[in-house]
Structure formats: C-alpha cells, structure tokens
Structure 1
Amino acid sequence: MRMRRCFILSLLFWGLLQPVFSQSISSVTNGLQKMPGYLTLYWDAKKGKMFLEIDKLDTEILFHTALSSGIGSNDIGLDRGKISAGKIIKFQRSGPRILMVQQNYDYRATSSDKMEKLAVEQSFAQSVLWGFDVAGEEGNKVLVDATSFYLRDGYDAAATIARARQGSFRLDPSRCAFYLPYTKNFPENTEVEVTLTLTGEQAGAYLREVVPTPGAITFREHYSFIKLPDAGYEPRAFDPRAGINPVEFFDYSSPFSTPITTRYIRRHRLKKKDPSAAVSEPVKPIVYYMDPGAPEPIRSALMDGIGWWNQAFEAAGYKNAFQVKVLPDTADPMDIRYNLVQWVHRSTRGWSYGYSVSDPRTGEIIKGKVTLGSLRVRQDYLIASGLVGEYTSDEPSKEAEQMALARLRQLGAHETGHTLGLPHNYASTVNNRASVMDYPHPLVRIMGPKKLDLSDAYATGIGEWDKIAINYAYREFRSKEEEKKGLKKIIDDYIDKGFLFLTDQDGRPEGSASPVTHLWDNGKNAVDELNRVMEIRKIALDNFSAKKIPVGAPIATLQEVLVPLYLFHRYQLEAASKVVGGVSYTYAVRGDKQKVMEYVPGDEQRRALDAVLNTIKPEVLALPSLIINLLPPRPYGYDENSREVFHGRTGLTFDPLSPPEAAAGMALRFLLQHERAARLIGNHAINASLPDFSEVVDKIMAATWKAPARKGYEGEIQRVVNVAVLDKLIALAANADAASQVRAVAGLKLRELRVWLESQTSPDEAERALDVFAANQIRQFEENPVKVVVTPPAKEPDGAPIGSFDAYSCDW
C-alpha cells in the first residue's frame, strides 16, 4: 500500500513538472512580438521580458558588450560606442538548463588530432557566463527567458567609475528597462539594448560635470551575438616588424623545438577577382560608412582622409578595394555587415578610437568601428587661431579653419587605420611623416621675424609606411611558399630603404629610451626641432593680442588661447628629453639587416640636455607684460576652475608665476625621471663617454640654483624654478621605485646643495629667504623624509589630446 502511494505521488509530481519541460515555443510566445534574425527574440511588452530562441546549441558564437550611450566624460572613459573584448561562446544544454560557456582560445591545439585538442581543452578552465532555464522547446530549438541576463551591468560600468575614483555605485533594478529602438535582429547578428541606472553616493567631480543628478547615472548598454566567419579565411603570420596588430595563443600541437606561442595578424578578409593580375578589383571591397550625424564641412574632411587608405590598397595590388560612403537611410549602423565611422560628443575634448570586432580564433576583422570625438576640432582651431589668426571682425580665421580640417583628415585616416589592423608608428617622423598612424603635431613654418605659416601643418595622403603595412597584411599570394618569400621581401625592402617601426611601448612612457619614437613631435632630430619650436613659441607669444578672440568674447577667455601657445613646446620638450640617456634600437630579428641597439652618442645627449635646460631659463619662461596685462579674473558665468587654463596661488587674479612653474616642472619631470636616471648610471658604467646621472644633476644645478641671480619678475621665476628642482630631487631620493644608486645620487646632490646654500650670504632678502627655506627642507628630509611638506607644484593644463590623444586605440 505504501509503495502504491509513493508511485501515485511520483506520477503526480512528474505531472506537475511535465508542462515545464514540454511547453512548445509557440505556446509560450503566443501574443508576443517576434523579432526574427540570427537568434530570434520575443518581446513581452506587458511583463517587460525578453525571450531568446536558441537554435544553435553547441555552435561557436561571438559575444560582445558595448556602450551605446556613454556618460560623456573623457576622464572616466565610459564613452558612447566603446566595445568590450569579444568572447567566443557556446550555448550548451544540461537537462532543463542552458549554459552560456565561454571557450578558452588562449590555449589550443591546431592539429587535426581530436584527442590532442581534447587534452588541451580539458587542461584549462572555461567560464560559464550565464545560466538560463528552458522555458519552451520545439525540435532542436529552445526558448529561454533572458531578461535578467540583459538587465545587468554587463560592461561593468560601476567598476569603471570606482576605478576612476568617482564614487561607489550599484545597479538599481527598478530603474532599468529594455531600450527597444536599438533592440534589433539581422541575418548575422542579434542586438539587444537596455537602459540602466546606477545609484550611489559621493559622486566625483567628473561625474558631477556631466550627470544631471549625480546620484543617479542613467546610460545604455548593448549586447551582441554575432555569427563567426566561415572557414574560408587564411590566417597570416605575425611579424613584429610589419606594423600589424596580433592575436596570439599557446599552441600545444607545435613541435617542442619551436615556440609555443602562435601569432596571427588582424586584418579584413580581402581577395582579388583575378588572382593572376598584378592589380585587380576585389571580390568584395572593404566599405566604411560615415555617420550622417557629422556636420559639414567636417563630414567631407573626414571622408576625404578615410578615403586615403585606397592609395595603400592600390599599392598592395587592388583596385577600388577600400571605399567610404555616407551611411544610407536603408542601412542600420548596428548591422555587423557595416563598418562604421561614428561622430561622438562629450563634455570635454578626449580620445578618439579605432576598434574592430574580430574573430579571436584567426584575427579576421569582422567589423571596423571608428569613434571620433567632436570637441577635438575645436581645440585644433583654437591652436591654429592662436598661432596665425586674428579676429578683425566676427569672421573666423580661414587659415585656422583650414588647419583644423586638415587635422580632421589625418584623424579620420588614423583611427580607420586601427580598424584595418595597424597600431601606432611613432617613429615615422624620421622618415618625413611617413605614417598617418603617428600622432602629428602641427608643422609650423617660420616665414619671417613675426610671421608663421600653417599651409603644411599636416601631411596630405596616406604615408609610405602605411603602404608597407597594408602591403604586408593584404597582398594576395598564390601559395604559402610564395607568401612566405613575399612577406620577407616586403620587410627586407623597407629595411633597405631606412624605414622604421616602433610603437606605444617605445614612445608613450615618460621614461622611454628611444631618441626617435615620440608622440606629437616633428623633424628627424628631436633636439634641432626643439630649438626651432622655441623660436615659433616666441613669435606666437610676441604676436599675442586681444584679437585672438572674437569681438564680444570676454577678455579673460584669452587664457584658453594662451595655454597651447605658452606650452607649444611641451611635446618636443619631452622628445628631446628622451635623447638624454637614450638608446637607439629596432625590432630586429636574427638574419635581418637592422642594427639591434646602440647608445645615443654622449655629445648628442649633452646637446639635448642643454636644449632642455634652455627652456627653463627665466627670460624664456617670462610672459611679456602685454600678455599679463590682458588677463583679468574670470567673469561671472565662466568656470574659474576650467581645466583649459593655468591655475595659480593668487586667488581670482592671473598668477604670472604659475605658467613658468608648470613649464619648468615638465622639463624637470622628464630629466629627473627615475628610469632615465638609472639608465644614465648603467650606460655610463659601460661607456664612460656617456653622461652620468651625477653630471646631469650638476648641470641642472648650474643652470638653476647656481646661476647668477636675476632681479624683478625674472628673479621670482628663477626662484620658482629652483624650488621645482629641489622638490623633484627630494621626490626622486624618496622614490621607492627608483634604483638604489639613483636615490643615493639624488640624496648626495641634495646634501651638496644644502652645504652650498648654508655658505651663501646674498644681499637680496628674497634670495636669503629661499636659501634658508631650501636648506631647512633638505635637512628635514635627511632627518625624517616622511615629515617633509612640499607645496604641490603648479600643474600644466591638459595637453593631450592636442587635437587628439587617439590612443590606446583598440582592436579586438
């Protein structure tokens, strides 16, 4: 009797469960809005739910998250259009559950041996990104309720805000919903967008600038499931000298006598219609579509610059392989089949990006996406008008306008280059502006004692280096053997012609060693160009007047024009500083003709040091009295805390010592950088003809503290510079990241300075006051470094993007 009762209860229990497992998709979705496409969606408007129909179980799919509407602050970095790294996922079923499993393609076996592949797969973890309950099924299709999967912070925006120290925020589910206008389906991709709201407290300054109510941050996140390319694509081997971005993985099927890491380049799929022809039209061209939201004449300038890339593809053997068009009304920018150039607005000027959606398995680029910040063109115009323009009426300067548009052409070409697979080439300046993948500083010509010319500010057309890189990535070969020989020849030929490729790791850090790899520099020789730039700076400051702003603009807004002129040398200063302790090198491989490395000759290093120290002379840093008298306090309604102006210590009035302090601080920060100091010590130990760190510090002391005392305004500037030297040396001596000998030398030079200061008996009270103050600072540092109170240095206003910081452009 008991067994019979249990059996009946079991039947009843199974009967209760049966509808859950046997419901058809059509019965669950009856009355719901159907969105057919790659993965069919069903929208339940009454309950606010989104169902996902999965008919591709155990199929590899590319998954992306993105920000379709951003926060609007460059400093936080949550910009419209940013895309996360792509993940290859599979939907796998286990009973009533569907697991979304991320495949681990960092470790694989590329052989055809199934057991060898399985051994690698089982040796490394995968990641289950989500679990769904089956809501319905029909044949090989299953339906899942994906509402909670979508209504979450998948981009991890809250963590990004926290890392930027802008407060602690969390998702408020009651203020989140699906955003249907951008929830769409296409044959090869499924797109879902949601409106999310993060709530929190203690919002930082950057957030308060851009969010109406800082305690509630509402933005939109986007989710994409994308069809992966078919097997017709042939990966191409990566070469560090070729200037193409890599995708890399551990290949455990490689022979143990060869490297385990395999690298492919990232590129679009491109094939000739006629493979035997030297020049052929492609089977399918690469087409980029311009955001129609970009206004004229900006849109035309961008399309012109982006279109330059066709020159590179022609050099690689293609006709009309690269095209740029305005996105038509019939096309949707969310469709994965359209490469997109997007025009983005922010509250502050900021970076532009070149991203691409690519296949992590092979490096094949599926979609290029360029994001261009709209404020940068205004900064370029501001710089140009400060250099050459004057407002004689309300009409803008035509010369400044042309320079700003010329920069936009470069910008469009540069960011598109990233989406074609190219990284930065910061060494192209030595080859006469050979690459749009460099960061171009405006090239200003001196035409006379008081005249500057901007007609050649930016190069026109694609660079010779860019043709080399595209040739390596996209030239078609008839066989693997021909490809191997052909790619080698491309690199051998460019080496013979003297071209050079070095990128972010070599040019971006302040302590980097290459004397030719810099951001925003010009000229073949960094020292010569710094000397020339200082002449341009002097002419620009001598020409400064109220005519640099339109009639009717507050006079105080001249400060925004002054900053890029006064600091016009900032990037070339950094370039020349890198010559000190510099080491020339290449990405040489065994068997090529490149010189591996050599020290910059001692004479050139000393010449660079002299040129840098010339920039902090009081007479160079002093502002003309005409300019000082033109700068009143900020008027009502204009932000006195603007990041685009100098900030001093005189309250509302303009501080004439703040710009010299900021400029001197830059030069000293570069020269007394701890890695450069360590390199000076090590290089001198190997080659005594090279300057030692002690010699560099002694020259700095001779040019500042121990130079003849100045009077008046220049005397106060000299004292400001001297304090900057003192503070930088104290910071270096206390820097835990610095080499011990660097700290030892810095400490010794501080002691020598203290002894010298204590011997001084200047008749000038201001000089005596500073001598006593500095000696006390050093003594206190020697006794207890932690208790030394250093006045925070005046900081130079934001520089990059000078029109673009471009960087950290990504290719995923």
Structure 2
Amino acid sequence: MIKKLTLLSCLLLLFSASDVTAQRKKKVKKGQVTEAPAEAKKPDNKKEPKPYKKVIDTTAVTQNGLIDVHKVGDKYLFEIADSLIGKEIMTITRYSKTPAGGGIFGGEEVNRQVIKFEKGLNHNILVRSVTYVIATPDEDKPITKAVKNSSADPIIGNYDVLAYKKDANGKENVGYVIDMTAAFDSDLQTFSLGSIDKQMLKVQAFQKDRSFIQTIKSFPINTEIRTVKTYTTVPRQISLTPTPRIGTDLPAGVDAGVVTFEFNTSMILLPQKPMRKRAFDKRVGYFANDYDVFEEDSQKADKEVFAVRWRLEPKNEEDAEKQKRGELIEPKKPIVYYLDPATPDKWKPYIKQGIDDWQEAFEFAGWKNAIRGEYWPENNPEMSLEDARFSVLRYFAADIQNAYGPNVHDPRTGEILESHIGWYHNIMSLLRDWYLIQTAAVDPAARNIKFDDKLMGELIRFVAAHEVGHTLGLRHNMGASFATPVEMLRDPEFQKKNGHTSSIMDYARFNYVAQPEDGVKDLFPKIGDYDKWAIKWGYSYFKDAKDEDSEKALLNEMTKDAYKNRRLWFGTETNPYDPRYQTEDLGDNAMKASEYGIKNLKRILPNLIVWSKENGEDYDELNGLYNSLTGQFRRYMGHVTKNVGGIYETPKTYDMEGNKYEVVPSTIQNEAVAFLNDQLFKTPMWLLDQNVLSKIKPENGVEAIKSIQDGTLSSLLAGDRLVRLLETSSQNKANYSVDELMSDLRRGIFSELRSNTAVDIYRRNLQKLFVSKLIETMSSEKTNVTFFGGRRIVLADTDIPSIARGQLNELKNQLKTAAAVSTDRLTKFHLNDLVARIENAMKPK
C-alpha cells in the first residue's frame, strides 16, 4: 500500500512539473512584455523618499499649524517638523455624535494619551504612546539607563517618510512628510474606541468601507481630526422580552446590525516649559497625579505626588511685585469656560454665574478676573466645541440625573489644560426632589411639582459652581459640613453669613435641619471658607520660591496655620470609618441633625399628594417623591450608623500636635445606638401614611419597613465594624465594645420581653432579622473574612462568634420566660419559634 501511494505521489509531481513547464513555454506575441519567472523576481525594495515638490505638488491643499497638514487627493499627509520630533503631544478623543440609547453623548471623552514622533532607522517615523509610571530627574546619570530599560513606550504607528523638507539652504532636513490617513480612518485605539468601551457598547468588527475622515484642521498649538467610524454589533440573544436594553443594546445596532460614531481627536502640544509641580498634601483636597522617581543618590524609590491645577502666572515682573505687596493682579492667561450653545437660554445666565462665583475665591490667592464664564460665539469657524484649546460646559439631552466636572491635565506636572463639564438635562429633576424633600417644610417655593424659573435657576447655579470646583482640581470635601454645630444650622444670621457647610465641594445639599419657626432663608450651599482657602493653597504664586521644595515649605506653614480653624479642614471622600466624613449629612452630631430632619419629613409627608397633584396624570410623581422621602430617612439612619465603631482620621504631619487616629467616644456611639432603637427599630409608623400608600403601592408597608431595618442591622453587625469595635475596646475598656453593641440592640429590639406586651408584625419581623444575624455571626465560616488596617481577618478566629453565642444564650433564656407567660397567640408562636431557631443553630453538626 505504501509503495502504491508513493508511486501515485510521484506521478502527481511529474504532472504538476510538466504543466508548469508547458505554461512557461507558451508563445509570446510580438510586442508583448514577458514577466520574469516568479523565482527570478527581485524583492520589492522599500520606497525611497521623493523630492518634496513631487509629493506636495500644486494639487495639495495645505493647512499650517502645530502639524502642517496637506490634503493630496484622498490622502492626509502630515508634515512633522524636525523641532517636533521627541516632543510630547496630548491626544484627547471625544465623541462628536453618538448612537442614541447607549448612555454616551456627544462631547464626552473617549480616551486620552500622550504620544511623540520619533525618527526610525530607515526613512521612517515612529509614533510612540508615552505612559508616566517611573521617571528620574538625573538625566545625565547612569540610573537614567535603568529607568529607560524599565519603561519602554509602545510603538503605535510606523510611517514611511514620503519626502523631506529642506531648510532654506537645501541642506538640513526640517520636516518629514508622512501619510497618516490610515491612522485616523482605521480603528487605531489611540484615536478610537478602547477595548472596554467596545465591550460595554457591544460593538465588534470595524467597517472600513463605512468609515472615513471628515475634516482635519490645524492650529498653532493643536491639530483637530474629525472622523466617522462604523462597527458591527454583537448579535442579540433570543429573548422573551426583545425590547432593547438601554445602555446595553444600542437601538440602532438592534435595527441595523451596525452603529456609527463620530469622533473628534485633539492633538495638543504639551507646554514647552513644564509648570512647576506643587507637592500633594493630604490635608488639602486636590486631585493628584503621581509616578515613581529614581534618583542617583537616593536609597529608595520615591513616589512623587503632585496636585492637579491650572497654571496661573503674572503677566510680568512688575505684576509679580504688586501681588507680593498684596495687590490683586490679572493672570497672564485666565481660566475661561464656554457654555454649550445647546444649553437652554433661560439657564445660561445661572450657569455662567455659577462659574463667575469662583472669582471671589481666586481673590484670596491674589488674582482678579482669574476665571469667567462666556457664551459660545456664534458663526466662528475657527472654534469647535471638541477643540482641546477650549473648556466647555456641554449640555446633554439625556434623562440621566447627574452632572460631572473632569479635567485634562499634563501628566508630567499636573497642569490642567482644559475641561469639558458634562451636564445632563434631567439634573433638574434630581434637584427638584432634593430641594422639595429637604426644605419644603420651611420654604413655600419648594411645595410645587414644578419650580419657578428663579428657584430652579439658583439650584442650577449651585450645581454649576460645584462642578467647576472639580475642574479647578478640587475633590469632594465630605468633612466640611461637620464644622457647623447643629444648632447653628437653625440660626438665620449665622446661615446668612456662613451657610450650612464651609465648602460647596461637600455633598451637603440643602439645610434640612432648619425648622419652620427658625426663619432661616439661606438654604443653599455656596462657595465657603474652605473653598477660598483651598484655592489660595493651590493657586498662590510664590515669586521668591526657588523650587518645589521651597514652595512646599511655605505651603506647609500655611496649612498648619489654617488647621487652627475647623472650617478650613478637608475631609476625604474615601474614608469608610470616620463619621465626620459622610455624604448628604449636616452638622457636628448626626443624631441631633437627623432628629430635626425627621421632624421636617413628618411635616412634608402628609402634603405630598397636594404638592405633586396634576390633573389628568397618574400617581407616578407621588410615588417618586415618596421614594425620595424614604430614601432621605434611610440616609439619616446611615449617617448615625457610621458613628458605631467609628475612628476619626485627621491628616497630620510630624510638626503638628495630636494623633492622626482617635476612637469615636463611647458616649457618642451609645447615643447613636439609642437613636436607632428609638427612630428605626421602634417602628416608624409615621412613614406608613395609608392615604399616600393606598395610591401608589398594593402593600401597606410591612416589607418596606423591614427592608430599611434589615439594611441598618446588616451594617451595624458587619464584620469590619465588629472588628473595629474589638480592636478599639481592647485598647481601652472605656471604649464601646461588640458586647455592648449587641446588648444595646437586644434591649431595644426585644423591649416587649421586659413589659410582657404583645409583639406586632413589624417587631416580629425585626426580631427574626436580629436573631438570624446573630446566628450568622456565631456560625462564621473560615471563608468569612474582612479587612482592617490592610490586614485580612478571618472572623471565625476572633471573639466575635463567641460574643454572638453568649448573646444568643441570654436571649434564648429571656424568650423562654416571656413565652411561658405570654397571652397573645401570635406572640407566643413567635417567641417559641425564635427559641427553636437558636437551639437548632447551637446543635453540633
């Protein structure tokens, strides 16, 4: 068999060879050019550059700018100046137009990268993406080589040099002409969607035949590229509910199988002279950038962390001297935000005012007219909303209840280059709900389903100022509201002068503490003492400071002095255990503030039907407002709960007195649990207004109350909180402990056992929840872990299960006694059931 196959193979080979030979021996007609045999062809050599005028001929349409762009036919040729080689360029790609229903909008950022052009080895130009992770200031030292060896920048493009531009003498190359058409009409990630975006939007194959470059425009410091790109979409799965899922399935993709986006990429040259970095300080709330720094003489790598901020500098030396003497001066380049022309006209003045409100804060740093809002000029072809030279508040036609304030900054120094604030239309709906639920008890203007333009305008102004604060580099200061004593929230004169929080960057929406009899009229946040101080810290110009270290020393003295005033403190938005740093809270005592807040909610609830009334409409608005009110109540419970197991964290440096960490006093923790027992675990029947519930829900609120109680109990008995209580009570017996917490809860939740009274359905639900959570805590598996202080803690290996077991034993005995004497049938069933649950849980497995 093997021989036959071999013979057959040989015959096939002979036939193939004779066939090829016969083809080669075909006669050639006279005048016909013969092709050389394939094996005799020479490999194509790399195309050599042509003379400049042969490439950039008379048909070329040229734009001069950062990069000279020549349009020749359907090609876009970039002329890269020799002076631009190695220079760093920020590329910012934004959506210009988007498919509807994806939760993305024209004007939003897609990605940003730093790139640089680099000479290749053989008539080519490379484009590299630059990532800042490690660096060294010692450019002329041996360690530079180690840093470069550990931070290779990826090559994202390789382009043949089509022509060299010579200098006036025709000798030196001063420019390199390359064809970058394929970089922009393709799916190169730098100028297109990233992999995560594609997954989220469920797009896949790029469609080259339906993608193209719209325009390319070049300006002195930037080049703008507008592109259209089409993708196929991931096919939908068979479903019983084929309605497109907004935010998951793009409706256009469901209909057509493809989606089309329009993008704008800004290529903007990073400053030739980098701004001096300002060292980040945890005591002041600025966004920051960082990278690891390796120095020749250092014994370890240092992480250089620096604040993100705009560059404000005097116009000249004379102005710098004036500012040093205490005079206000105008900066060389002010901060300007343009309003999207798509913004409804009646809201434009309020948004502009929210921007201009920051002028007062900059005066504290020595600047006048440092910031302003401007209306977008009409009929100016040199300006584009996506152009990275302009900061714009973009208005989105979206039902999202939000706004946000990002910035684009130089990763080398933290210098903010521009910002595009995002403003969603439905932020007004959120503002109405917040303001009505928090202030309608004291402000008659809030008692309407639709606010008048003046009130809504002022609400918009407040949000605009907050978002602009973010674009100035400021983070949320969640500790600012804690600086105001609760009783001062009810003082009209104090509120008029100071407001209810010292920072507009706090999430302290409106004054929900003020009572109707107080006469408080100032219910809005405004730019406060902290905001002015923070702008002074970030934007003061130190004429005589020689370097970053000199500035850091001056700023440190400023900060230590500022810390003498509690209103100038920063409270991080990321601390999980400091009750002073919370969202949506007010005052220096969450229990007192929440009690006042609940009094106002009790006044508001019965009026919701009247305030939401609209003839011919169903009760959707009433339902939404009721949910907002119960949500506000939940927040109050959360504010109080964070005090239990709380630890104060105050940023400190070696040259400041006091400790960084302090345990929340036991008296405050006791007060918090007592509040929860009284306001939540004692059934809040006032929430169950049947006149309201009968119009919006089929149930009467039993499960709704249970849900709120369940959430709070779960939080109180969470592993991380219990571990903190173990740690802090072990330091000092006076500190609140796990055993005290469980005992206090047990006494409040099972108060009927002492009075021998019937237990209603709400309390029966609550008591079952409590027992279940103690059983779960007692039965902790080795897999139940938590983290504290950076350590992984196995709950089963702590005292927590032991304490839970002891609590259950004590409770079991109390339940047995109470069940024996109970005369209420359902109460007896309930108590005996709890005894059985506890005994069953304690049986060895």
TM-score (norm 1): 0.81
Mapped contact 2:184–2:213 kept (Cα < 8 A): no
* Equivalent residue in structure 2 for 1:59, among 59, 78, 87: 87
Within-5 A mapping of 1:356-505: 356-386=407-437, 388=440, 404-432=456-484, 433-444=501-512, 446-448=514-516, 455-460=521-526, 462-480=527-545, 483-498=551-566, 499-505=568-574
Alpha-carbon distance, 1:545 to partner: 2.2
Q: Provide the residue aligned with 1:355 in structure 2.
A: 406
Q: Deviations over 1:615-648 (max 9, x none)?
A: 3235415534443454246xxxxxxxxxxxxxxx
Larger deviation, residues 740-749 vs 674-683:
740-749
Q: Which has the larger radius of gyration?
A: 2
Q: 1: CA distance between counterparts of 2:632 and 2:705?
A: 13
Alpha-carbon distance, 1:411 to partner: 1.7
How many residue pairs end up in the alignment? Answer: 742
Q: 2: CA distance between counterparts of 1:229 and 1:773?
A: 73
Q: Deviations over 1:423-455 (max 9, x none)?
A: 12111112341111111222135544xx89884
Q: Provide the residue aligned with 1:548 in structure 2.
A: 612
Q: 1:687 to 1:88 in 2, by over 3 A?
A: farther
Q: Deviations over 1:253-307 (max 9, x none)?
A: 2642687222222211111230011221222211111222221432222221121
Q: Provide the residue aligned with 1:38 in structure 2.
A: 66
Q: 2:635 aligned with 1:571, yes or no? A: yes
Tell me, what secondary structure is at the counterpart of 2:111? coil
Within-5 A mapping of 1:154-303: 154=189, 159-160=196-197, 162=199, 169-173=203-207, 177-178=211-212, 180=214, 184-192=217-225, 193-197=227-231, 199-202=233-236, 205-207=245-247, 211-214=251-254, 218-231=260-273, 233-253=275-295, 255-256=297-298, 260-273=302-315, 274-277=319-322, 278=326, 279-303=328-352
Mapped contact 1:544–1:627 kept (Cα < 8 A): no
Tell me, what secondary structure is at the counterpart of 2:525? coil
Q: Provide the residue aligned with 1:620 in structure 2.
A: 684
Mapped contact 1:384–1:403 kept (Cα < 8 A): no
Q: Provide the residue aligned with 2:9 in structure 1.
A: none
* Equivalent residue in structure 1 for 2:740, among 674, 686, 695: 695
Mapped contact 1:430–1:523 kept (Cα < 8 A): yes
Q: Provide the residue aligned with 2:708 in structure 1.
A: 663
Amino acid in structure 2 at the alignment position of 1:187: P
Mapped contact 1:435–1:463 kept (Cα < 8 A): yes
Q: 1:558 to 1:186 in 2, by over 3 A?
A: same
Tell me, what secondary structure is at the counterpart of 1:520? coil
Amino acid in structure 2 at the alignment position of 1:59: K
Paired-residue identity, %: 21
Q: 2: CA distance between counterparts of 1:746 and 1:407?
A: 50
Q: Provide the residue aligned with 2:6 in structure 1.
A: none
Amino acid in structure 1 at the alignment position of 2:384: D
Mapped contact 2:752–2:758 kept (Cα < 8 A): no
Q: 2: CA distance between counterparts of 1:250 and 1:31?
A: 50
Mapped contact 1:573–1:612 kept (Cα < 8 A): yes
Q: Provide the residue aligned with 1:647 in structure 2.
A: none
Mapped contact 2:401–2:424 kept (Cα < 8 A): yes
| Alignment RMSD | 4.1
Q: 2:346 aligned with 1:346, yes or no? A: no
Q: 1:217 to 1:19 in 2, by over 3 A?
A: closer
Q: 2:805 aligned with 1:748, yes or no? A: yes
Larger deviation, residues 663-672 vs 526-535:
663-672
Amino acid in structure 1 at the alignment position of 2:207: P
Tell me, what secondary structure is at the counterpart of 1:667? helix
Alpha-carbon distance, 1:25 to partner: 8.4
Q: Provide the residue aligned with 2:23 in structure 1.
A: none
Amino acid in structure 2 at the alignment position of 1:469: A
Q: 1:396 to 1:677 in 2, by over 3 A?
A: same
Q: 1:777 to 1:327 in 2, by over 3 A?
A: farther
Q: Deviations over 1:579-616 (max 9, x none)?
A: 11111221101002454222111011110122133332
Mapped contact 1:72–1:79 kept (Cα < 8 A): no
Tell me, what secondary structure is at the counterpart of 1:197? strand
* Equivalent residue in structure 2 for 1:536, among 581, 600, 607: 600
Q: 1: CA distance between counterparts of 2:57 and 2:596?
A: 72
Q: 2: CA distance between counterparts of 1:212 and 1:71?
A: 7
Amino acid in structure 2 at the alignment position of 1:366: L
Alpha-carbon distance, 1:202 to partner: 5.0
Mapped contact 2:92–2:112 kept (Cα < 8 A): yes
Q: Provide the residue aligned with 2:14 in structure 1.
A: none
Q: 2: CA distance between counterparts of 1:710 and 1:373?
A: 55
Amino acid in structure 2 at the alignment position of 1:211: P
In structure 1, stretches of 5+ residues that fail to align are: 1-6, 507-511, 634-652, 786-812
Q: Provide the residue aligned with 2:168 in structure 1.
A: none
Q: 1:447 to 1:390 in 2, by over 3 A?
A: closer
Q: 1:54 to 1:208 in 2, by over 3 A?
A: same
Mapped contact 1:66–1:81 kept (Cα < 8 A): yes
Larger deviation, residues 145-154 vs 108-117:
145-154
Q: Deviations over 1:321-344 (max 9, x none)?
A: 111111212232222221221222
Larger deviation, residues 20-29 vs 133-142:
20-29
Tell me, what secondary structure is at the counterpart of 1:268? coil
Q: 1:254 to 1:362 in 2, by over 3 A?
A: farther
Tell me, what secondary structure is at the counterpart of 1:316? coil
Q: 1: CA distance between counterparts of 2:220 and 2:251?
A: 37
Mapped contact 1:132–1:144 kept (Cα < 8 A): no
Amino acid in structure 2 at the alignment position of 1:240: K
Q: 2:179 aligned with 1:144, yes or no? A: yes
Q: Deviations over 1:95-153 (max 9, x none)?
A: 3654322234321111352544333212x132325233427233331313443665327
Q: 1:208 to 1:300 in 2, by over 3 A?
A: same
In structure 2, stretches of 5+ residues that fail to align are: 1-35, 166-174, 238-243, 485-500, 787-792
Mapped contact 2:125–2:161 kept (Cα < 8 A): no
Mapped contact 1:67–1:83 kept (Cα < 8 A): yes
Q: 2: CA distance between counterparts of 1:302 and 1:705?
A: 53
Q: 2:138 aligned with 1:93, yes or no? A: no
Q: Provide the residue aligned with 2:354 in structure 1.
A: 305
Q: Provide the residue aligned with 1:607 in structure 2.
A: 671
Q: 1: CA distance between counterparts of 2:441 and 2:230?
A: 45
Q: Provide the residue aligned with 1:643 in structure 2.
A: none
TM-score (norm 2): 0.78
Q: 1: CA distance between counterparts of 2:345 and 2:143?
A: 57
Mapped contact 1:286–1:322 kept (Cα < 8 A): yes
Q: 1: CA distance between counterparts of 2:162 and 2:838?
A: 76
Q: 1:619 to 1:217 in 2, by over 3 A?
A: farther
Q: 1:587 to 1:138 in 2, by over 3 A?
A: same
Q: 1:403 to 1:39 in 2, by over 3 A?
A: same
Q: Deviations over 1:33-59 (max 9, x none)?
A: 66654335566887xx76655443333
Q: Deviations over 1:476-500 (max 9, x none)?
A: 1222267455323321221122331
Larger deviation, residues 296-305 vs 360-369:
296-305
Mapped contact 1:43–1:50 kept (Cα < 8 A): yes
Tell me, what secondary structure is at the counterpart of 1:610? helix
Larger deviation, residues 711-720 vs 740-749:
711-720
Q: 2: CA distance between counterparts of 1:655 and 1:157?
A: 49
Larger deviation, residues 392-401 vs 243-252:
392-401
